[in-house]
């Protein structure tokens, strides 16, 4: 039986098309995925992402514990700031990707927002790694709803809901405050490539907040957004989807996430040898993430094979139409195992590739990621 979020009834009222996702019954679309996508790019959209997991870390060894879990340097994280991280295993591969927020509240030193499908694995891994640390790991996912307000009008809407622009958290920051007179945690993060907020609210208040956001958002042409558009939005922004583009066989370096890894972090962490070895070129990467666009009109999908010069060269991990570019785009991995031409290729952008679709090869080419410019509000950072 799939779980329902506290916003299920609101979604039924809106005639959402609901599908099972990661153990939850979630809205895939309310009207049309393309309309919802464009609403977020042009105006503002509201997402129910309450399926996501919330884990609070506290105790005197919180920092040292987190330092062991992720390749990022959590010691550099200031109060009310956030950092994009990966939970890595001993082989340097990715158990989950997550955002760590530093709250400095009693019992809530750090907030970890993790993928719905990975909560159990994450908790298991954290508990196994907590031996010897004075740390409390609290999975509070069942007590919170998560609402995302994303798009160029998001900041105006949040202001209208009672949090003035000058007191809104900056990009990749979080603060406790009131939105629609409800005490919430407001983070300036998201999964769309647009400016926006993720609002963590206690379950009893989530339906009221949802309705209030939609009501006050009318003047900004707000639309409720389903998981379908969430996927096309994140793909245009080339943001990885765990289970598609990231899994326990891929390191952050192979996934094109070396930028997020702390190169000068002194503490040891799970998989450090492999991850730093790959960054320093001492250990060979097994694969390499690429972004591509289809030259032929057909969409490529997760699991399709990539060919170069008629030889199998990799696999598509995410693919579909880009409503903004009106092209089919995708992410995938090229194998670096034994193909010497790929290993010596300094630059893959511009390379012609083919995708096997229903037993036929179609032309595509490697392009730079992200596919569209991200429009985060970073001026204050």
Positions touching another protein (CB under 8 A) are 17, 28-29, 32-34, 228, 231-232, 297-299, 301, 320-321, 323, 328, 358
Kindly tell me which of 86 and 328 has the beta carbon lying closer to another protein.
328
In the complex, the smallest distance separating the C-beta of residue 225 from another protein, rounded to whole angstroms, is: 13
Kindly tell me which of 121 and 296 has the beta carbon lying closer to another protein.
296
Kindly tell me which of 297 and 311 has the beta carbon lying closer to another protein.
297
Kindly tell me which of 17 and 212 has the beta carbon lying closer to another protein.
17
In the complex, the smallest distance separating the C-beta of residue 49 from another protein, rounded to whole angstroms, is: 18
In the complex, the smallest distance separating the C-beta of residue 327 from another protein, rounded to whole angstroms, is: 10
In the complex, the smallest distance separating the C-beta of residue 33 from another protein, rounded to whole angstroms, is: 4
Kindly tell me which of 209 and 227 has the beta carbon lying closer to another protein.
227
In the complex, the smallest distance separating the C-beta of residue 29 from another protein, rounded to whole angstroms, is: 6
Give the span between the Cα atoms of 319 and 302, in whole angstroms: 6
């Amino acid at each position: 039986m799939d779980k329902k979020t506290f916003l299920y009834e609101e979604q039924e009222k809106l005639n959402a098309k609901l599908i099972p996702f990661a153990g939850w019954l979630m809205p895939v679309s309310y009207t049309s995925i393309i309309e919802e996508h464009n609403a977020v790019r042009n105006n503002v959209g509201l997402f129910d992402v309450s399926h996501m997991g919330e884990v609070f870390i506290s105790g005197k060894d919180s920092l040292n514990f987190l330092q062991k879990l992720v390749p990022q340097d959590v010691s550099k994280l200031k109060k009310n700031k956030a950092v994009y991280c990966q939970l890595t295993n001993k082989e340097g591969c990715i158990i989950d990707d997550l955002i760590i927020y530093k709250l400095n509240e009693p019992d809530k030193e750090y907030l970890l927002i993790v993928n719905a499908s990975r909560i159990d694995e994450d908790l298991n891994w954290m508990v196994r790694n907590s031996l010897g640390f004075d740390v409390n790991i609290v999975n509070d996912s069942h007590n919170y709803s998560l609402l995302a307000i994303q798009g160029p009008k998001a900041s105006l809407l949040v202001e209208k809901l009672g949090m003035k622009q000058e007191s809104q958290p900056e990009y990749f920051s979080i603060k406790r405050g009131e939105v629609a007179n409800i005490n919430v945690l407001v983070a300036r993060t998201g999964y769309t490539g647009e400016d926006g907020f993720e609002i963590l609210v206690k379950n009893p208040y989530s339906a009221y907040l949802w309705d209030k956001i939609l009501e006050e958002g009318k003047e900004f042409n707000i639309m409720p957004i389903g998981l379908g558009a969430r996927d096309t939005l994140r793909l245009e922004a080339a943001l990885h989807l765990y289970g598609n583009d990231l899994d326990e066989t891929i390191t952050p370096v192979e996934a094109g996430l070396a930028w997020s890894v702390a190169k000068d972090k002194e503490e040891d962490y799970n998989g450090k040898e492999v991850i730093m070895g790959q960054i320093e070129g001492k250990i060979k990467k097994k694969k390499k993430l690429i972004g591509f666009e289809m030259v032929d009109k057909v969409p490529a999908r997760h699991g399709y094979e990539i060919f170069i010069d008629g030889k199998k060269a990799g696999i598509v991990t995410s693919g579909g139409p880009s409503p903004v570019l009106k092209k089919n785009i995708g992410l995938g991995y090229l194998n670096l195992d034994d193909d010497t031409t790929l290993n010596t290729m300094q630059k893959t952008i511009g390379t012609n590739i083919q995708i096997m679709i229903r037993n036929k090869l179609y032309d595509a080419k490697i392009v730079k990621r992200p596919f569209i410019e991200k429009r985060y509000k970073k001026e204050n950072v």
